[in-house]
Amino acid sequence: MTEPTKKMFTAKVDENLLKAFKYACENQDTTASQAVRAFMREYVRKHGQADVFQHRS
């Protein structure tokens, strides 16, 4: 089995929201990247694209 290709994702976000998000992630002992990936996986599952997405631990 081959390792999935990783891509960089850039998004524009309000500076205050980003600061609050990073602070919340820190309080949960996680990184912003980990939290965004978890959100993306859940969003894909919830909105009907789970068949094209296979979660890899």
Least confident segment among 11-15, 18-22, 29-33, 43-47: 43-47
Beta carbons of 33 and 21 less than 8 angstroms apart: no
Q: How far apart are CA 55 and CA 14, in angstroms?
A: 29
- pLDDT-derived band at 1 (thresholds 50, 70, 90) equals low
One-letter amino acid identity for 19? K
The DSSP 8-state label assigned to residue 5 in this structure reads: P
